[in-house]
Amino acid sequence: MHRQPLKSSFASDCTLPSPVWVTMEPPGLLSVVVVFVGLLGTFVEGLTPRVSFPIGTPGRSLSRFNSSDVRNTTTLLLSDDGDTLFVGARDFVLSLDVGQEDIVVKSKLDWSPSNNEMNDCFMKGKKKADCHNFIRVLQFLNSTHMYACGTFAFSPRCTYINHETFSFVTSPSGKPEEGRGRCPYDPYQRNSAITVDGELYTGTVADYMGNRPVISRHLSEGSHIDLKLDDTLGWLEDPTFISSSFVPSEEKIYFFFSEVGREYDFIDKFTVSRIAQVCTSDVGGQRTLQKRWTTFAKAQLLCKSDNELPYNILQDIVTLPPPEGTPVDETLFFGIFTSQWSVNSGQSVVCAFRLGDIKAVFGGNYKVLNRDTLRWSTRVQEKVANPGVCGLHNASDNTLRFVKENFLAEDSVHPARRRLTLVSPDRRYTHLAAQRVQASGGRNYTVLFLLTEAGYLHKAVLLDDGPHIIEEVQVFEQPQPIKSVLLSISKGVVFVGSSEGVVRVPVSNCSYYGSCAECVLARDPFCAWDHSNKVCAPTISIQDQAGQDVERGSVQGQCTSPIMPRSRSGPEKFKLVSVSLKEVVRLQCPEASRLARREWVGPDRLLSPELYLQPEDGSLQFLATADTLGQYRCISMENDYEQALAVYQVKQKSSPTPETAPPSETPTQRLLPTTPADSALTLPPTVAMPEPAASATTRQASRNFTYWVKQMGETGAESRGEEALLLERGSTYLKELVVVSMLLAGCVFLLVAIGLYRVRQRCRNKTAPQDSSPGRDSEQGDPHEQEPLRDGQSPCSNGKQNGQAAPNGQANGVMCNGTPKGSNGHLPNTPT
């Protein structure tokens, strides 16, 4: 049977191979897998954060807000001065003071459904936990009022809030405003909302079942009227709304979402990422498309590189305005994408799209939808109008009918420079924020703040050679759903809203880097070395020439010589380690950064792998012998900079060598550790065993080895490595094995002899006759046998029988001292 690929109507610029086959034999399946693997072969390796800050690290202090009665901080809104953060949570709207390091609650508004409304929601088959009021829309309307909408027990409602007095305001009608079409019913459905000139533009679902997606305008003023998409035209196909953005120069609102791509003829649903636009000046058609958008158009966001599968599911997207003096077409939209293909599941990428490219796609040709077959095709009829152009509300009915049928752009929007901005094969990103930062040389760099599913915030700077992850900060101990991320450029902080509360993360902490080399190696555009004050400080605060090299991180030329360390714990000193011969020694080396390479230099400079083990944790392990005593230095090399992280002097315990510091060759530079466990260069405890005799050298080494492993709690792999060291140095357990074997053999022989003896005794007892009738011998024995024993003839002459008195004071001759005998001293019934 031959395999036939399904027909695909991909555009010429989308080279995605069809992932579904009608019939597939094993050779065909193998070929498809090979194609998929080949397409992924060009992916770059995963990026590694240079330093990591777990929760509680002094170098990265975070501020938190959480309350026992506040959950699901879904929506964040920052005041113009950056001192107040408004939070839309479950059943509450909060006003938080974030102007200081600690987050303080200023006010809290209770906006929860009544018990009857909760019960009605529960009776409809919904979970009680989902019947609360989840605030999903929180926007400024003007300088004094906000507008908020919530799910309100699966019956959406909206309200006005005076953010100066922070109190509810009655709507003009005096009744609660219905939130249908402005807020989703289900708290798990995503939506987008934005206000422009007091008017609310939303993307959500407009029914209880979630089957009617709409993009609409509300709170219209003046000549504007409320608009929405025509439900019967199929303009949206089961979308998941992500975000929306307003571009003033274009007078357009851009909506970003993912939906089912009906233009692709696949058996399974194929998800595509979209960008849609509407004009803020749109007022609908006069006869055709009355109270409907006349400027709606959409296009595909194709996040892919050449010869690669596309990442087709949009997770989050933000807008980054262009630098001052740059054309507005250089506005960038950074988005996080994942894939529905199992071959690259679990991966995340970041793509950047230029506004100029988006405008070119919307200004090109459009596909046409055949309403009878519901199939898309390239437009062949004459172009009547250009869909998406503002001002079509005054167009003729013929033009508006053409717009109704042609709203999907033929071309797709490709990433800027036709390449992926960032690829993360081992981490999934969920939310992001973007900021442009001016470095010391006047050049602008883009910094991305990316949140992972595991609860870490990655700070990445985009360089000419690719992205560089400066650091990662652990925001949550346990992974939890991230609801929103908001960047405050004026305050220099990132706010993260989760299901449990809000976390405030500073964008940088330059004081963490204690020396010029550390500051430069970080390659952080926020930080630079202040030569005047000898500190690493924010770049914007340094007046004179600052030490900074964001592109290469080269210390040479940025730091004056000599480069002296500036550690929090003072200058580094070497560590003196006293050991016994045949003792396993382990020297630890702190981690300067995850991008640095650590090497050990010993007495002979090069360390032979036959004598030394160097695990992945950077430590050094060897067996103490006369040849391995001496000085050891752990060297860290990053970019063009080399520094000594640890210096050890290993000596024999009985050695008379005085404990003096070795001559300094080069200044020792210490970078601060990245984890609290490495906060000090402490040597693991070594065994202080008594000096063994010459004949007990092997036993001494084995005891030291066993005790050291118990003390250090090393893994089985390390123990095997240390045992290999012992074997290489000639130390074995042969003597102990021989002694134990001899003892075991002796014990076995003794047990066998005892067993045989007991068996022999049982056999003797069985050969003697047994008589159960007492006094038989005295009644029926011959006269000779009944004659009493003479004194001194037998140990039983006292008239006792087995310790008991015999009848008539005579011994019956049956037993004497436990042995049956006759009167003649022989066994009974045997010839004499």
Identify whether 170 is part of a domain.
Answer: yes
> Distance of alpha carbon 799 from its chain centroid, rounded?
95
Question: Would you say residue 201 lies in a domain?
Answer: yes
454 in Cβ contact with 479 (< 8 Å): yes
Please indicate, yes or no, whether residues 95 and 159 belong to a single structural domain of this protein.
Answer: yes
pLDDT at 260: 92
Give the residue with greater pLDDT, 794 vs 180. 180
Q: Are residues 318 and 190 in the same domain?
A: yes
Q: Do 313 and 272 lie in a common domain?
A: yes
Contact 678, 672 (CB under 8 A): no
Please report whether residue 12 resides in a domain: no
Q: What is the pLDDT of residues 277-335, one digit of tens each?
A: 999 999 999 889 999 999 999 999 999 987 788 899 999 999 999 998 899 999 999 99
Specify if 17 maps to a domain: no
Using CA atoms, how far apart are residues 527 and 548, in angstroms rounded to an integer? Answer: 8
Do 738 and 636 fall into the same domain?
A: no
Same domain, 463 and 532: no
**CA-CA distance, 750 to 410, in Å (whole number)?**
96
36 falls within a domain: no
Kindly report, residue by residue over 444-486, the tens digit of the pLDDT.
Answer: 999 999 999 888 999 999 999 999 999 999 998 887 777 889 9
- pLDDT at residue 573 is higher than 80: no
Q: Is 593 contained in some domain?
A: yes
Distance CA(623)–CA(608), nearest Å, equals 12
533 and 385 belong to one structural domain: no
Among 431, 447, 552, CA closest to 508: 447
Q: How many domains does the chain have?
A: 5
Q: Is the pLDDT of residue 823 over 90?
A: no
Burial 216-228 (b: 16+ CB within 10 A, else e): bbbbeeeebeebb
Identify the residue whose tokens are 């033009």.
399
SS3 652: strand
Which region among 65-79, 168-182, 494-508 has the lowest average model confidence (pLDDT)?
168-182
Whether the per-residue pLDDT at 739 is higher than 90: the answer is no
* φ/ψ bin of 630: left (φ > 0), alpha (ψ from -120 to 50), beta (otherwise): left
| pLDDT on residue 381 | 61
- Give the model confidence (pLDDT) of 641-689 as tens digits: 998 999 999 999 864 544 444 444 433 443 333 333 333 333 333 333 3
Query: 246-276 burial, b for 16+ CB within 10 Å, e for fewer?
Result: bbeebebbbbbbbbebbbbeeeeebbbbbbb
What is the tens place of the pLDDT at every residue in 659-670? Answer: 444 444 433 443
- Top pLDDT among 548 and 674 is at 548
**Residue 246 pLDDT more than 60?**
yes
Same domain, 674 and 741: no
Residue 653: give its domain's CATH number.
2.60.40.10
Give me the percent of the chain exceeding a pLDDT of 90.
52
Q: Assess if residue 741 is contained within a domain.
A: yes
Range from 326-335, 344-353, 358-367 carrying the lowest mean pLDDT: 344-353
Q: Which pLDDT belongs to residue 357?
A: 97
Report which listed range, 272-286, 633-647, 749-763, 768-782, is most confident. 272-286
Span of 154-168, 278-292, 329-343, 772-786 with lowest mean pLDDT:
772-786
Element (H, E) at 628: none
Mean pLDDT of 23-30: 34
Average pLDDT on 8-13 reads 36
pLDDT at 268 over 50: yes
Would residue 87 count as lying in a domain? yes
721 and 738 in a single domain? The answer is: no
Which of the two residues, 126 and 37, has the higher pLDDT score?
A: 126
Residue 757 above 70 pLDDT?
Answer: yes
Of residues 342 and 240, which shows the higher confidence score? 240
297 and 378 in a single domain? The answer is yes
Within this chain, do residues 747 and 793 fall inside the same structural domain, yes or no? no
Cis peptide upstream of residue 17 (ω within 30 degrees of 0): no
> How much is the pTM?
0.74
User: Which residue range is the domain that position 543 belongs to?
Assistant: 511-563
- For residues 412 and 546, membership in a common domain is answered with no
pLDDT at 736: 72
User: Looking at residue 262, what is its pLDDT?
Assistant: 85
> Worst-scoring range by mean pLDDT, 132-146, 513-527, 553-567, 796-810?
796-810
pLDDT at residue number 347: 87
Where a domain ends, among 441, 474, 498? 498
**Do residues 174 and 102 share a domain?**
yes
Mean pLDDT of 106-134: 94
Q: Residues 349-360: what's their mean pLDDT?
A: 97
Which segments of 534-627 are extended strands (E)? 535-538, 575-579, 584-587, 597-601, 612-613, 620-623
Write down the pLDDT at residue 790.
Answer: 40
pLDDT beyond 70 at 500? yes
150 touches 111 (CB < 8 A)? yes
Predicted confidence at residue 766, as pLDDT, reads: 58
Mean of the pLDDT values across residues 577-589? Answer: 93
Average pLDDT of the chain to the nearest whole number: 78
